[in-house]
Chains A and B, each alone.
Chain A
């Protein structure tokens, strides 16, 4: 590169810094949507610039433009003051821009090293040089404090580890500017802390970072500046040090927002869902659930707290018929539903909001209206005698789009063209609106903006107050504490304890989540 470069313009990875990057007057139209409307945005070396905005505000779109995945209709991008054209990811990678996508971009059947090497020239010409790639991965991992095994297959990794692979991928390509699109949405609080350590290190070394998140405390903690988008327009940019969480919330939504939901009144009724000594396997052959028993009653919210991967997924799947229960029984309103087909369980009015909504909760190539009747399509008013009733389907969709404020040009839009948070809303709307007897909600507010989070939480509480039994699986302790009447903590496929809300503190739950009984003070050994 330029021989006159001094050491200080280099990053530890050997790459040249990007001192400043500016997006000016960016406009992007999709059919029926103005996703970016003359947006201005800039980021400098050595800072984290947070991008805030409601679901569908245009954050991902703007970032995909910067990364070369979308082409802007208008506007220009200046790198260190000079205009650049970015027409594909190849261009952006060459310029030193990296991106961590809202939905990870990894090939699960390949190893970490193969994922990193993909698309790069090899030092051995046409042959791969995975051994050298692995060595470099380990070097980079050391510099930035990322623990990763280059030979592991990606499908074996936890979400947090997969994200590290994404970061390594970008650093390996010499990213001086890194875009992180909702990197924390799928992470446990501990993994978020680890990510922030890495991000702080990168900033100190002179990287420029763009950070998107709906969690305001994270934005306040990690960023130097904040820009708010609303309906594709820049509302403004501020120094983080000069704002608070509450300011940001009001600014973003355009009205006062409260953080604590109003719990109202509810009367506890009969047992609706009951598990008795349930055992099941997991995808990796280890025991998934090992003797889980609890009841959920009409009019209560039972929170399931725990670090992800301790059996939450297996729990939800064995109740909904998606996973075989190897021993024990599951009862819905007194009737044995153990190992019934998922459709039969659905028809007994159990609603399920799966954690991986993109994969398990919807059909990406169906319209919103179709997705909204997936569970009830065989019933009136959506169909009669085997014929779909298009009017009924349309009315239903329009009602839900309005009440859940799904941001979409029309009910006929394909689900895959919605923003991440709006995809979530479609699933939530479908499940909550059918007036179920039991709702099983896994991470229901993941990826939602604060307004939508508030709305969904309120909906779950209203369901409870109407007498529905609600089981809420969440890794967000604040959410568990705000909503639950009782809290069950899972650890390694077992229920550690069930604590009434009044006796629950974050500290106590934290210990239980780590497998420690607070009274005994020692880890439980099975």
Chain B
């Protein structure tokens, strides 16, 4: 049994699907990183993903155009972000609670729309793997890294891009300052509200893409609550990754590799109770979070609404 797991084909399979499965986590967690860096905890990621998931799927199904589906997911995610920004920045609502509210909204709304507009589970032909001449043909490596669809590549490109924006641009500087000491940023004429609106809407957009990656690139179906906690894991990955894109990448890969492993264990019929197998990635997340979280400090202004005392 164990020897089956160790055969080259299976190993390549595990790694390739691990790489692929990290996609939604990467989009959602990188988006969440921007929000948290600016001081906003968005627990509504899961809800944004679900709506993005549905929007992408439904639009792709009805128009037959995957890109329109993706665009729809982005718009829906951005709109959810906009609402979240209004509630937390202007109304200064407690962030954790309003995030949960947005999660429940996304959960209920995506289900309702699904019932009303579709009713039954259908499938679409999602984004296809892209064949890169040369690279895709490398034995092993090609299968693992260069035989993926466009959204997978996009997720990995997002990591250095996010790092670059946060660390090398004036916008990134503002985001980091606003998350650490909004009073200081404000006293230099930086609009705390505008920065936070930007990061929350960006986070929503990326969560929308994360949802789309599930429904029109990885699984190519839509079901009720099909994210099943993935958005919350993405939030945890931000802590795990110590608010750094590369850390988030590490966390997402670790998590999705273990996930891929447990899927393969089930596929191969290795006699591990499936409930236990499914639990593995989550238990791992908790263990790793416990081990790492105390060592790094969150942005000082995280979850704190900003208000000039005038």
17 new A-B pairs (CB below 8 Å) besides A117-B173, A118-B177?
A89-B187, A93-B188, A101-B187, A105-B183, A105-B188, A106-B184, A108-B180, A110-B180, A118-B184, A118-B190, A119-B185, A119-B189, A120-B170, A121-B170, A127-B170, A128-B168, A417-B309
Q: Which residues of B contact A119 (CB under 8 A)?
A: 174, 177, 185, 188-190
Q: How far is the CB of B199 from chain A (nearest CB, A)?
A: 16
Q: Which of B171, B176, B181 contacts A126 (CB under 8 A)? A: B171
B residues 177-216 touching A (CB-CB < 8 Å): 177, 180-181, 183-190
Q: Which of A71, A89, A106, A117 contacts B170 (CB under 8 A)? A: A117
- Alpha-carbon separation in the docked complex, A306 to B188 (Å): 35
A residues 85-138 touching B (CB-CB < 8 Å): 88-90, 93, 99, 101, 105-110, 114-115, 117-122, 126-128
Q: How far is the CB of B94 from chain A (nearest CB, A)?
A: 13
The 17 listed contacts between A and B (C-beta, < 8 Å) are A69-B187, A71-B310, A93-B188, A110-B173, A110-B177, A115-B184, A117-B170, A117-B173, A118-B177, A119-B177, A119-B185, A119-B188, A126-B169, A126-B171, A127-B170, A128-B168, A128-B172
CB-CB nearest in chain B for A105 = B184
The 4 closest A-B pairs by CB, nearest first: A90-B189, A119-B188, A105-B184, A119-B190
Q: How far is the CB of A167 from chain B (nearest CB, A)?
A: 14
Residue ranges of A at the interface with B (Cβ–Cβ < 8 Å):
67, 69-71, 88-90, 93, 99, 101, 105-110, 114-115, 117-122, 126-128, 169, 416-417
Contact A128 B310 (CB under 8 A): no
Q: State the majority secondary structure of interface residues on B.
A: helix
Q: A105-B181, A122-B170 are in contact. Are A70 and B186 (CB under 8 A)?
A: no
Contact A107 B189 (CB under 8 A): no
Any A CB within 8 A of the CB of B295: no
Q: How far is the CB of B195 from chain A (nearest CB, A)?
A: 10
Q: Which residues of A contact B309 (CB under 8 A)?
A: 416-417
Contact B171 A107 (CB under 8 A): no
- Alpha-carbon separation in the docked complex, A109 to B184 (Å): 12
- Alpha-carbon separation in the docked complex, A480 to B181 (Å): 35
Any A CB within 8 A of the CB of B308: yes
How many contacts A-B (CB < 8 Å)? 75
Q: Which residues of B contact A126 (CB under 8 A)?
A: 169-171
Q: How far is the CB of B183 from chain A (nearest CB, A)?
A: 6
- Alpha-carbon separation in the docked complex, A106 to B176 (Å): 12
Contact B189 A93 (CB under 8 A): yes
Most B Cβ at <10 Å: residue of A88, A118, A416: A118
Q: Which residues of A contact B186 (CB under 8 A)?
A: 69, 89
Contact B168 A127 (CB under 8 A): yes
Q: How far is the CB of A88 from chain B (nearest CB, A)?
A: 7
Q: Which residues of A contact B183 (CB under 8 A)?
A: 105
Q: Which of A69, A107, A128 contacts B308 (CB under 8 A)? A: A69
Q: Which residues of B contact A106 (CB under 8 A)?
A: 181, 184
Q: Which of A70, A105, A114, A416 contacts B187 (CB under 8 A)? A: A105
Q: Which residues of A contact B190 (CB under 8 A)?
A: 118-119
Q: Which residues of A contact B184 (CB under 8 A)?
A: 105-107, 115, 118
Contact B181 A69 (CB under 8 A): no
Contact B187 A99 (CB under 8 A): yes
